Amino acid sequence: MKLKITTLFFLISAIALISCSREDNAEQDYEYTYQLTGPSNNKLVVQYTPTMTDPNITEIPDDLEYEEQVTPPWQKTVRLHKNIGGVGFSASITEGTPGASYTISILDKDANILKTTNFIVDTSGDAGALLNYYSD
């Protein structure tokens, strides 16, 4: 249930992020890196705003991958058109090791942390976290 709520919230956030626009003429694209750290003895599901460089995009196309099952440490770099005003990144685990601690982060092109949070696996083996970053 927790995973479905996280997935639904992420998808709604991603659509909202795509609809944001910017009036900045600096760079055409922005680069972000998603990062997951923690024990490597369990797999987690990560979801993220994928690379999207088309300025006319209004929603995440079906052919873009934005969900993976991964083992920490993990990271992925994406590029986004300047009209996309933010990114979303989530990680969740079921049947994990109780007490295990994980960290998810969104970094800029210079590896500066823009947003980060920690989460700990509960006694049922479940945990998850979601980050959204909106550019100025």
Does residue 77 have a pLDDT over 60?
yes
C-alpha angle 47-51-56 in degrees, rounded to nearest 5: 120
Residues 18-41: tens digit of each pLDDT = 444 444 444 578 999 999 999 999
Can you tell me the distance from the alpha carbon of 48 to that of 30, in angstroms, rounded to the nearest whole number? 15
Average pLDDT taken over every residue of the chain: 83
Banded pLDDT at 61 (limits 50, 70, 90): confident
C-alpha angle 88-122-73 in degrees, rounded to nearest 5: 50
Q: Which of 13-27, 91-105, 117-131 has the lowest mean pLDDT?
A: 13-27
**CATH class as words, domain 2-134:** mainly beta
CB 67 within 8 A of CB 47: yes
pLDDT at 114 (0 to 100)? 97
Report residue 87: phi and psi, to 5°.
Answer: -135, 160
β-bridge mates for residue 130, sequence order: 90
The full set of domain ranges for the chain reads 2-134
CB 125: neighbour CB atoms within 10 A?
14
CB 90 within 8 A of CB 112: no
pLDDT at 3 (0 to 100)? 52
Banded pLDDT at 82 (limits 50, 70, 90): confident
Task: Go through 66-96 and write b for each residue having 16 or more CB atoms within 10 A of its CB, e for each that does not.
Answer: beeeeebebebebebbbbbbbbbbbbbbbeb
